[in-house]
């Protein structure tokens, strides 16, 4: 089964062709980073207009690279929630038009489900149940999955997302956008113990809070005025984020008695997070899965992968399918819907 995946929820216009949920025949990602860099963040209307310009050429390139004609596609998958509404509409409109013209199934995918399912592209035989840490520019969630398509939220951020903290602290340090990869690189040459930045402890909860850390970094940089090396600041900040992400995820894994944890989302590309999660989990006898870094950040192959596994479970949408700027991935365990 060949699925055409489409993703336009933020600042990447992406299309991919994935076979049987496991073989990536193509995964074209047109980044708009250059366009938004001068604003230090994404400008939604600029992103929407760029998606309109890029969507058809990107889909064509994905088909060409996969060596496949549009008629040879068996289903169309598209990320329809959550995201920038104007940006999502571009991908969803294209997906609806193609599915309708070809009379093929249309499958809507939640952005975070896409991130989680990027793990199945690297290893299609991952067994349930597991706990997944999903960390991106907009979300930081700990998700328990007992089976395909069921998502129970065990913890989430109460303020900034992890990626947002990377981006905002990078801006305070006078670095570029997006901040995550820049801090990751600088931190390689820094001392993670140089500055003791705060780690939020939210009682017995698995929730995160990064706003106090962000404020501490902004204050430190203003006070320090260059006395401490930028590499040490980057490494110490990164360590503070990663320590909490790993600790809460492994606590969730122990609470749920799972033998495997997954990491997903743009921040899952972070080298310190990947390293520390593996080290700590292995010492507890817990296996760790992570997509290759290129599949952690936004891409359309993840949409096609999620669609494949959920289509097999009977998930299918029609032309009336809508877009949503916000929508929780699943129920918060022990609480009403988020």
- Which chain residues interact with Zn ion by CB under 5 A? 136, 298
Question: How do 12-19 and 23-31 pair as beta strands?
Answer: antiparallel
Size of the site for ligand KG4 (CB under 6 A): 19
Distance CA 165, CA 22 (A): 32
**40 near ligand KG4, rule: CB under 6 A:** no
**163 near ligand KG4, rule: CB under 6 A:** yes
**270 near ligand KG4, rule: CB under 6 A:** yes
Characterise 225 by phi-psi region: left (phi > 0), alpha (psi -120 to 50), beta (else): left
Minimum separation from the CB atom of position 265 to Zn ion (A): 6
Characterise 254 by phi-psi region: left (phi > 0), alpha (psi -120 to 50), beta (else): alpha
269 binds, among ligand KG4, Zn ion, none (CB under 5 to 8 A by kind): ligand KG4
**Residue keyed to tokens 């199945």:** 120
Site map 293..322 versus ligand KG4, x via CB under 6 A: ----xx------------------------
Q: Which 114-143 positions form the footprint of ligand KG4 (CB under 6 A)?
A: 136-138
Our CB check for ligand KG4 shows the closer of 73 and 120 to be 120
Our CB check for Zn ion shows the closer of 167 and 298 to be 298
Burial class (CB in 10 A: 0-12, 13-18, 19+), 79: buried
Minimum separation from the CB atom of position 270 to ligand KG4 (A): 3
Burial class (CB in 10 A: 0-12, 13-18, 19+), 182: middle
Contact in structure between 214 and 261 (CB atoms under 8 Å): no
Q: Which residues bind ligand KG4 (CB under 6 A)?
A: 10, 136-138, 163, 166-167, 178-181, 184, 265-267, 269-270, 297-298
């Amino acid at each position: 089964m060949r699925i055409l995946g489409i993703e336009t929820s933020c600042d990447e216009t992406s299309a991919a062709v994935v076979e049987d949920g496991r073989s990536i025949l193509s995964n074209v990602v047109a980044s708009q980073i250059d366009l938004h860099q001068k604003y230090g963040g994404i400008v939604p209307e600029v992103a929407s207009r760029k998606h309109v310009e890029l969507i058809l050429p990107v889909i064509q390139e994905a088909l060409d690279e996969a060596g496949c004609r549009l008629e040879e596609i068996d289903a169309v998958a598209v990320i329809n929630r959550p995201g920038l509404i104007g940006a999502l509409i571009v991908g969803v409109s294209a997906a609806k038009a193609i599915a309708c013209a070809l009379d093929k199934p249309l499958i809507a995918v939640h952005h975070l489900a896409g991130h989680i399912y990027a793990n199945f592209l690297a290893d299609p035989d991952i067994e349930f149940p597991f706990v997944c840490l999903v960390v991106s520019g907009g979300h930081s969630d700990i998700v328990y999955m007992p089976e395909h398509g069921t998502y129970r939220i065990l913890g989430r951020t109460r303020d900034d997302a992890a990626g947002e903290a990377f981006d905002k602290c990078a801006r305070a340090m006078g670095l570029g956008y997006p901040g995550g990869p820049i801090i990751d690189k600088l931190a390689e040459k820094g001392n993670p113990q140089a500055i003791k930045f705060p780690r939020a402890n939210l009682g017995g909860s698995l929730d995160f809070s990064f706003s106090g850390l962000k404020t501490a970094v902004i204050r430190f940089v203003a006070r320090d005025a260059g006395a401490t090396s930028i590499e040490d600041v980057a490494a110490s900040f990164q360590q503070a984020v990663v320590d909490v992400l790993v600790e809460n995820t492994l606590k969730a894994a122990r609470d749920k008695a799972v033998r495997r944890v997954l990491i997903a989302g743009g921040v899952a590309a972070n080298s310190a997070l990947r390293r520390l999660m593996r080290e700590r989990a292995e010492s507890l006898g817990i296996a760790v899965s992570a997509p290759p870094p290129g599949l952690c950040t936004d891409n359309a192959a993840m949409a096609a992968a999620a669609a494949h596994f959920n289509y097999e479970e009977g998930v299918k949408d029609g032309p009336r399918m809508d877009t949503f700027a916000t929508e929780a991935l699943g129920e918060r365990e022990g609480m009403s819907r988020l």
